A and B are shown apart, each in its own frame.
Chain A
Amino acid sequence: MSPSWFEKLMPSSIRTDSSTKRGVPEGLWTKCPSCNAVLYRAELERNLDVCPKCNYHMRIFGRKRLAIFLDEDATEEIGANLVPYDKLKFKDSKKYKDRLLQAQKNTGEKDALIALKGKVKGVPLVAVAFDFRFMGGSMGSVVGERFLRAATLAMEEGLPFVCFSASGGARMQEALFSLMQMAKTSAVLTRLAKKRIPYISVLTDPTMGGVSASFAMLGDVHIAEPKALVGFAGPRVIEQTVHEKLPEGFQRSEFLLEHGAIDMVVDRRDLRDRIASLVLMLANKPAVQKV
């Protein structure tokens, strides 16, 4: 339904004009980065951070991602006590130790992956999600170990395993340890597959590098959120290598679907239904009763 009749009724003084910056209270309103619509924060959250005007999927992070995915029942966190350790005493323009402290302060998390055991529409499962705010969701040893423990728990308890990726790739500050997390996480998935545990990989914006080139691309089913950037090499690196402009929509979910890399592009608000349905069918169990 068009809202224009309502807009016409409103005096111009209370109309929200996205092109002018007015003193809106911090946090109460938010601007859609795609269509520039000014959105009421609470309403946006009810809409799972999907812009009600243009359907743009804003990035959501780790714990919040799992909160909107899982039922409100009690959850059990896996590997919460694992904390990063700077074995190499890595220092670039800044110390890795300080970068970690800063990221921990900003996010309230110990590292970039959160793992929970919970339920979706009553179906028990294990789910992990990246917090992209934590050093770009980069994969270091804690991410790898939490993934391993979560997948192992899923295997031991015979529960479906779901991963929400959002990562720039390997964590350079952990050097080769971070590269080896690709081998580590891929190894545990062979055991999961052998035990016939369904593994659903959900690719969210952005999933690149070492994460995309390991467990994110090893799902039994690959689901991507609309317009998520997913690929091996970053667009800038590719542009510098091939010296040509990248095609429109390159490395976006729809591009991946067209090229056969993923099974489906699914709206965030449908993920619970779709995933619950998929894992139940793969486990040969009856469908969730519609209430």
Chain B
Amino acid sequence: MNPNYLDFEQPIAELEAKIEELRFVGDDSEINIGEEISKLEEKSRTLTQSIFNKLDAWQTSKLARHPLRPYTLDYIQRIFTDFQELHGDRAFADDEALIGGLARLDGTPVMIIGHQKGRDTRENIRRNFGMPRPEGYRKALRLMKLAERFRIPIITFIDTPGAYPGINAEERNQSEAIARNLFEMSALQTPVVCTIIGEGGSGGALAIGVGDRVMMLQYSTYAVISPEGCASILWKKADKAAEAAEAMGITATSLRDLGLIDQIIREPLGSAHRDIDEAARNLKQALVDALESFEKLSMEQLLEKRYQRLTSYGEFLEEKPEG
């Protein structure tokens, strides 16, 4: 099994291996290798398309957590210029699971906030697997308040399994750090655009996910709890994760249909890590469009719209009063 491909992608991996082999054989064969290769490449594209056209929620969740999936810094590199990372919450520490800083988007200054996962074990330990502690959220808030003061738009990238569930995180009041961000972000006097680029893990994701536009990359997920967590609580079996993922509707399409997100950003064939540059181009376009759409609004209109949107979340019925 090719580790760069997920279980359901193995037929693609096999075809790709064949293509590689043919290239290696090269010219000393009698048949027209070039023609054969392009035939197989076409076949691989069609196969990929057909597999990716009917992905289920659990498969999408595996893509969202793919070890090769581009992270916040990969997008920052490709989308922005002049990035200057800003560190620390000014009170306790610098949390490297949640990064931020100033940069330019096509020349316009913006504040970027994003979860950051690690590529290897060493970096993952440093980044705590993208699970922020309270000081991470407090750094994010500090940077958002800084952006607000200078009327700089805020762009957030969400990619976390969740806020860190540890003893010291509780001692420093993880709950309050998240709650404070929800509170402040709902009234920040500057536009906020949030994009889920990988894993949108519950409160730890939402804590930088309150804004004027919420977008999702095509194969990212957003959920109140991980499929595994949901399965072990409600089904009492962790192996029901696939069912839990389906039931919760964690994919971009489900969430857009439910009205919980605004926009889906297309990923290249085979998902973002197959062509990071293309994924970045699509993401950049969506960010530019979003910021442009806010220019027509006064600050008052922007904030009122944000408030109406936040307070309208929910599905319930209203019974007629009796009598």
Taking CB as reference atom, which chain A residue is nearest B224?
A179
B178 lies within 8 A of A213 (CB): yes
- Distance in angstroms between the alpha carbons of A122 and B182 in the assembled complex: 34
Of A7-15, A52-60, A242-250, A282-290, the one touching chain B:
A242-250
| Shortest distance from the beta carbon of B20 to any chain A beta carbon, whole Å | 41
B233 lies within 8 A of A172 (CB): yes
Taking CB as reference atom, which chain B residue is nearest A231?
B170
List residues of chain B with CB within 8 A of the CB of A88. Answer: 247-249
A sample of 17 inter-chain contacts (CB < 8 A) reads A81-B321, A88-B249, A92-B235, A92-B240, A92-B243, A144-B314, A180-B310, A180-B313, A180-B314, A187-B187, A190-B184, A212-B175, A212-B179, A213-B179, A233-B166, A237-B165, A261-B175
Q: Is A200 an interface residue (CB 8 A)?
A: no
- Distance in angstroms between the alpha carbons of A148 and B307 in the assembled complex: 12
Taking CB as reference atom, which chain A residue is nearest B169?
A232
List residues of chain A with CB within 8 A of the CB of B171. Answer: 259
Of B46-54, B62-70, B142-150, B202-210, the one touching chain A:
B202-210
List residues of chain A with CB within 8 A of the CB of B167. Answer: 238, 242, 244, 246-247, 250
B318 lies within 8 A of A81 (CB): yes
What 4 pairs between A and B have smallest CB-CB spacing?
A: A233-B165, A141-B314, A186-B182, A180-B313
Q: Which of A175, A177, A189, A218 contacts B314 (CB 8 A)?
A: A177
- Considering only residues 72-93 of chain A, those with a C-beta below 8 Å from chain B are 81-85, 87-88, 90-93
List residues of chain A with CB within 8 A of the CB of B249. Answer: 88, 175-176
> For this complex, into which size category does the number of interface residues on chain A fall?
35 or more
Please count how many residues in chain B sit with their CB below 8 Å of the partner chain's CB atoms.
Answer: 58
B175 lies within 8 A of A172 (CB): no
List residues of chain A with CB within 8 A of the CB of B163. Answer: 213, 232-233
Q: Which of A175, A179, A194, A232 contacts B175 (CB 8 A)?
A: A232
List residues of chain B with CB within 8 A of the CB of A92. Answer: 230, 234-235, 240, 243-244, 247
Q: A191-B307, A238-B167 are in contact. List 13 more A-B contacts (CB 8 A).
A: A81-B318, A92-B243, A176-B258, A179-B206, A181-B313, A187-B183, A188-B311, A212-B175, A217-B175, A231-B170, A232-B175, A241-B164, A259-B173
